[in-house]
Amino acid sequence: NREAPIVHLEFARYLSPEEAAKMENPPPVGEESAVVVLERADGESPWLQVEPVSVAANQGAVDALVTELQTARGRAHIDAPESFADFGLEPPRQRITVVDSAEGYPQTFYFGEVNTEADKGGVYVRKEGDASVFLMDGHILTLFPRTTNSFRERRILTRVQGPVRLERIAGDESYTLVLGEDGEWTMTDPALDDTDPFFVSQFISALKTIEGTRFYPGGPAEYGLDNPEATFRITLEGDT
């Protein structure tokens, strides 16, 4: 359904025979691994990654995949093939399951080998419960998450609303910046009359664009973050 927004998305990879051959003690071939589950309340709500860990999701990356799923077309259908294995679909390489707001039930698609010889090439796909195989533009493979962290939000500021209050809490080096109704930033604690607007603007721009590079296992205490040297509190419009 191209009109109804997708509200639930699952992505899973499968262990291929080639990958298993390189492993010392591989799990069964065809076993799902690296499962990622994303959900949102409706088409206007932000995506959240709920598995394997509950975190904010990168809206642009998820939306790109969802848009491709709803607009891409299948072609070169092969009805009732003798074996799905001939197309890399038994076991498959990836699985995608979606639920949209209109149908309300899961629809699952399996992705197999890439065909470089057919007209325009593409990746073999099969819909669960359907005996046919078809080709889909291979571009969709570039939108799949490469790891379980690929769809995690890495930015500090992720909302459209801008900051209206910035606080640095660090003992004697604490300060508070407040955005006034005139659009000018003022340091209120300690009080200063000559706050540099260019420096504050550059700082906010950095907060909007900077991204994390990797995620570490374990809790905050392992990295000295249970008792940090400094804490930044950012208040957005609407007192968020």
- Rounded-to-integer distance, Cα 57 and Cα 99, Å: 18
- pLDDT at 118 (0 to 100): 62
Across the range 108-125, mean pLDDT stands at 86
Does residue 69 have a pLDDT over 90?
A: yes
- pLDDT at 47 (0 to 100): 94
- CA R_g for the chain: 24
- Rounded-to-integer distance, Cα 62 and Cα 9, Å: 9
Across the range 42-54, mean pLDDT stands at 91
CA distances from 2 to 9, 54, 95, 130, 228 (A): 15, 28, 20, 20, 48
Question: Whose CA is closest to 118, among 87, 89, 82?
Answer: 87
Taking the CB of residue 76, how many other CB atoms lie within 10 A of it? Answer: 14
> What percent of the chain has a predicted confidence (pLDDT) above 90?
40
Q: Read off the pLDDT of residues 6-38 as tens digits, 9 standing for 90 and up.
A: 999 999 998 777 777 887 887 777 777 779 999
End-to-end alpha-carbon separation of the chain, Å?
35
- pLDDT at 160 (0 to 100): 63
- Rounded-to-integer distance, Cα 99 and Cα 146, Å: 22
Q: Is the peptide bond before 91 cis (omega within 30 degrees of 0)?
A: yes
Work out the pLDDT band at 104, boundaries 50, 70, 90.
confident
Across the range 194-223, mean pLDDT stands at 87
Mean pLDDT of the chain: 88
